[in-house]
Structure 1
Amino acid sequence: MRASQSAIFRRIDPFAILSFTIPLAVYLLTLAPSVTFFDSGEFITAIHSLGTAHSPGYPLFVNYGKPFTWLPFGNIAFRVNIATAVSASAACFAVYFLTHYLLKREELVPDLRFSDTFARLCGLAAALAFAFSARLWLQSNHDKPYPLVAFMTAMVFYLLVTWRERYDEGEMRPSHIYLGAFICGLATGAHQTIVLMLPAYAWLILSKNWRLAARVKELALTVAFGLMGFAIQLHMPIRAMRNPLLNWGDPRTLDLFLWNFLRKGYPVEPPDRNLALAWQQLSAFNLPREFTWVGLVLLLVGIGAFFTRRRDEIIAYLLAIVCSLLVIVGYFNTPGDLIFLTEEFFTPIYLLSAVFIGLGLFTLLRLALRNNPVEKLRTVPIKLMAGLLLLVLPSAICAMNYYENDQHENYVAFDYATNTLRSLSPGAVLFTWGDSGAFPLWYLQGVERMREDLDLLHTPHLVFDWYLDAFPHLFGRSVLRTMPERRQSSEVALKLAVAEQIVSRPVFIDFSTRYSLPFAEYGLKQRGICYQLINDGGSVLRPPDLAVWRLYASRGYTSQMGFRDLDTGKAILIYASCRMEAGEILLRMGYRQQGAEELSAAAAIAPELRAQVEQVLAAYGAR
């Protein structure tokens, strides 16, 4: 028994364990404690209800995250955030696994065991460099599907590399290709960007023997296994028939499924391309930003040193970069203000980049140690020194990115949403405009069951019948039903919906709605970060309700948290802008002291508004 246990422990790879546990520990330390902005609230609501998220639906990510909602601690959002931390850690393990596999036959010194130890150390260093890169770390501490896609990308790459080696040995292993095709089909349920890797995968296969493309039986089986994985998409129509809490696009029919899967709900007019925009788009893929310039040099060293032995793997990696840039930059032609969204699509390529950084580390280590006798290299000080040197790069990347990616105090979205709910009268309806203003509210009401007396309506969706169907008590006989989707704008739909609701209940709009569309026909009464519409023709100036500020939680905009993404900054600015607006209204109405206090609060929340605050005070002769 003892002998068998000893054998098991000898087979355990401590470096493999560390490649997963170290990133996971850091991710958990920096994990967001609740819902965040962008797609977070919507993803969590879809996962909780096993529903359908925004296009293209994300059925694999939804089903992957669901078991984590059963954890016995934390709120649902925190549990789903843990799911992403686990998938990101698995992606880091994949870097270690691939790096060590590519180095397993490489000789550092004549001692094979010694060479293998340092190959594992290089794999660990590469895994940690990827773990602490800005892009993956940002995706790891709140709910994102891209780390899961990256992990699956690496597994397919590994399967094809092992298939190639068996092929060279005269052994056919088509099961590796079939399994890889299945994983690719399955990965479409996490994100469709997996298709950008298909040319690279095809190269890994066909570069061994171009005649393989003519094998009809194997090709048919590969496609069949890919379709088997793609069957995860059936989650959407099957669950749509059960009317889950979040049922984006209601994809129960083929037409509605294709509407969701093909992202037809997001028509974007491509901008006129110029050199500045093209460079901005290309810069979304930025290796020095993720791994530093030292990391980029190591990557080039790894490619150069291993090009002869791993030529096809390197060509596949470069092909993945070219295809991604051609599609994301060339075809999508993303507008400048949305380019930040495409940065996440490069996560699988960053994973493969980390692998080649590991190969570069091994190359430099081999050059440094090749003239030393083996007996000297076996000493503990030499091993310890070499190991520490290998960890310099990931340590530096970690130190650079820790402060900005530490979200363990990030309550901005949670507090912004709860403060919004506290602003509303009982039985009110709230119209929102931007996703970050709506999705946290969906999570709080749908998952945490807060303020279920309210109706929260997202203005951009009012043009879709599937969305109106979700509110039969509001839109069962609405005039919106008589207007074809293709002829209706969000602005027109909002005005019609407001006119229908305001006669029977309190109607509120959020800050984004307030400044996206004029409401001259209605009076406005400001309640914190929301505005109540009054059906009086807009002729009366009303003082803001200052009492609501005392109901607000202030963690979200007064903490010294380092994390600041685009919408976090906007939320903080909205708090300040609303207080500045309230202060100016009070000054106009003659309430000088209260107005000055509100303006002072605005400057304290957002110091960048201090100059505007001083101008308003000066205009009214106040201090």
Structure 2
Amino acid sequence: MGLHDDGRGPAGGRAARVGPRRSGGLRGGLAVFAAVAAVFTLTLPPSVPGGDSGELITAAHELGVAHPPGYPLFTLVAKLAIRLFPFGSVAYRVNLLCGLFGAVAAALLFFTVFRLSGSHAGGILAAGVFSFSRLTWHWSIAAEVFSLNNLFVGLLMALTVHFEEAATAKERSKVAKIGAFCCGLSLCNQHTIVLYILCIIPWILFRLLKEKELSLGSLLKLSLCFGAGLLPYVYLPVSSYLNQARWTWGDQTTLLGFLTHFLREEYGTFSLAKSEIGSSMSEILLKSQEAMCTMLTEVPKPISDDFLPNQSEDTNWFMISIHHTNITNTEELLALILSQI
């Protein structure tokens, strides 16, 4: 018998663990979703919360094009929410949608941690600390693209764990194709998710190659699934061509115009920062790296001097994690971007 055929090898033991964890993870995930959704709903802004929200709400309501890279997926789903939710103002409905995105992200984080550890408490703690940290909570209840991005990060994490636990070639192939589609779809929202995709895709391909399950045909199928996920970008030239929205951004009816918008050549985080931090990309990245290192290595003195020395190692790591998930907007690049909106 091969490694995956009996119940005594790593695959068999892994499969034996997965069943109870999968069912328990689904039930726990639903409970986490309900709890986080309830809290987010109770704290939703009743109208436009500021930042890019006004533009994104308008783009969705009038089916226009938002600022680069256009956020076609968010625009279309928000328009659907505006039509389907029977209560509240247009702004409130989009805020509610984003709150639900944040709750799904929390549920996916719980599901992932539970599948890896088998601990309900660990999953609840991870989801709670993340969802109710200062920045996550703030941006999850506003009409912004961040909570949908968090949802996709959680989804890719959950799919990666599912792929790792898959016991058969057929299941791995199925999960890989779904993951490829989700990778493409996630890029229709916020491009920063590419940092996760660039880590996940090589690892998946390496695993398939190691299992001797990667062929030219399977690679082509994965590429097609990835490309299918990018289809919402067709919305940009269609919206631009119809030109029905009173407020929209740019002209995407030409290839040059589409690429200019898609590649964020006229608008983006680093272009906003250039005038304040430096004129080159290297200066911007170096300044941001220095600030991040400071945030992640320095713990407030009352905690580091009085509390941590008297606690166990696990408690110390927990307190440091709580601090890091509640970092204020003092990092220079982040503070600058927030000041611009």
**Could you say which TM-score interval applies, normalised by the shorter chain?**
0.7 to 0.9
Q: CA deviation at 1:299?
A: 9.8
Unmatched runs of 5 consecutive residues or more in structure 1? 1-9, 105-118, 302-335, 343-564, 569-623
For the structure 1 residues 137 and 238, does the alpha-carbon distance in structure 2 shift closer, same or farther, using more than 3 Å as the test? same
Q: Separation in 2 of the partners of 1:164 and 1:14?
A: 21
Is the Cα contact below 8 Å between 2:140 and 2:147 reproduced in 1?
yes
Aligned to 1:140: 140
Q: Which amino acid aligns with 2:105?
A: A
Q: CA deviation at 1:73?
A: 1.9
Aligned to 2:232: 232
Q: Separation in 2 of the partners of 1:31 and 1:174?
A: 40
Q: Deviations over 1:127-181 (max 9, x none)?
A: 11111011210111211112212212222222232222225x5655212111111
When normalised by structure 2's length, the TM-score is 0.73
**Within-5 A mapping of 1:208-607:** 208=207, 210=209, 215-243=215-243, 244-266=245-267, 268=271, 269=274, 270-271=278-279, 273=283, 278-280=289-291, 282=293, 297-298=317-318, 338-340=333-335, 566=339
Aligned to 1:380: none
For the structure 1 residues 11 and 205, does the alpha-carbon distance in structure 2 shift closer, same or farther, using more than 3 Å as the test? closer
> Within the alignment, does 1:79 sit opposite 2:79 as a pair?
no
Aligned to 1:16: 29
Q: Which amino acid aligns with 1:188?
A: L
For the structure 1 residues 80 and 15, does the alpha-carbon distance in structure 2 shift closer, same or farther, using more than 3 Å as the test? same
Q: Which amino acid aligns with 2:46?
A: P
> Within the alignment, does 1:35 sit opposite 2:48 as a pair?
yes
Q: Separation in 2 of the partners of 1:202 and 1:287?
A: 33
For the structure 1 residues 296 and 141, does the alpha-carbon distance in structure 2 shift closer, same or farther, using more than 3 Å as the test? farther
RMSD: 3.4
Larger Rg belongs to: 1
For the structure 1 residues 27 and 265, does the alpha-carbon distance in structure 2 shift closer, same or farther, using more than 3 Å as the test? same
Aligned to 1:156: 156
Q: CA deviation at 1:219?
A: 1.5
Q: Separation in 1 of the partners of 2:240 and 2:315?
A: 46
Q: Separation in 1 of the partners of 2:106 and 2:208?
A: 32
Q: Deviations over 1:283-313 (max 9, x none)?
A: 5779979xx9988814999xxxxxxxxxxxx
Q: Separation in 1 of the partners of 2:333 and 2:288?
A: 11
Q: Deviations over 1:508-551 (max 9, x none)?
A: xxxxxxxxxxxxxxxxxxxxxxxxxxxxxxxxxxxxxxxxxxxx
Q: Deviations over 1:88-120 (max 9, x none)?
A: 01100011111111124xxxxxxxxxxxxxx22
Q: Separation in 1 of the partners of 2:254 and 2:230?
A: 17
Is the Cα contact below 8 Å between 1:249 and 1:256 reproduced in 2?
yes
When normalised by structure 1's length, the TM-score is 0.42
What is the identity percentage for the equivalent residue pairs of Structure 1 and Structure 2?
28
Aligned to 1:196: 195
Is the Cα contact below 8 Å between 2:112 and 2:161 reproduced in 1?
no
Q: CA deviation at 1:338?
A: 4.2
Q: CA deviation at 1:216?
A: 1.8
For the structure 1 residues 23 and 181, does the alpha-carbon distance in structure 2 shift closer, same or farther, using more than 3 Å as the test? same
Q: Deviations over 1:431-470 (max 9, x none)?
A: xxxxxxxxxxxxxxxxxxxxxxxxxxxxxxxxxxxxxxxx
Count, aligned residues:
286
Is the Cα contact below 8 Å between 1:87 and 1:147 reproduced in 2?
yes
Q: Which amino acid aligns with 1:82?
A: L
Aligned to 1:94: 108
Q: Which amino acid aligns with 1:199?
A: L
Q: Separation in 2 of the partners of 1:253 and 1:198?
A: 28
Q: Separation in 2 of the partners of 1:75 and 1:567?
A: 26
Q: Separation in 2 of the partners of 1:177 and 1:79?
A: 34
Q: CA deviation at 1:250?
A: 2.2
Q: Separation in 1 of the partners of 2:297 and 2:37?
A: 24
Q: Which amino acid aligns with 1:279?
A: E
Q: Separation in 1 of the partners of 2:63 and 2:297?
A: 35
Is the Cα contact below 8 Å between 1:185 and 1:227 reproduced in 2?
yes
Instruction: Give the 3-state SS of the residue equivalent to 1:173 in structure 2.
Output: helix
Q: Separation in 1 of the partners of 2:288 and 2:241?
A: 43
Aligned to 2:173: 174
Q: Separation in 2 of the partners of 1:214 and 1:100?
A: 29
Is the Cα contact below 8 Å between 2:82 and 2:90 reproduced in 1?
yes
Is the Cα contact below 8 Å between 1:249 and 1:260 reproduced in 2?
yes
Instruction: Give the 3-state SS of the residue equivalent to 1:224 in structure 2.
Output: helix
Q: Deviations over 1:225-276 (max 9, x none)?
A: 1111011110111111221233211212211111111111138344463976
Instruction: Give the 3-state SS of the residue equivalent to 1:233 in structure 2.
Output: helix
Aligned to 1:205: 204
For the structure 1 residues 101 and 261, does the alpha-carbon distance in structure 2 shift closer, same or farther, using more than 3 Å as the test? same
Aligned to 1:184: 183
Q: Separation in 1 of the partners of 2:319 and 2:173?
A: 31
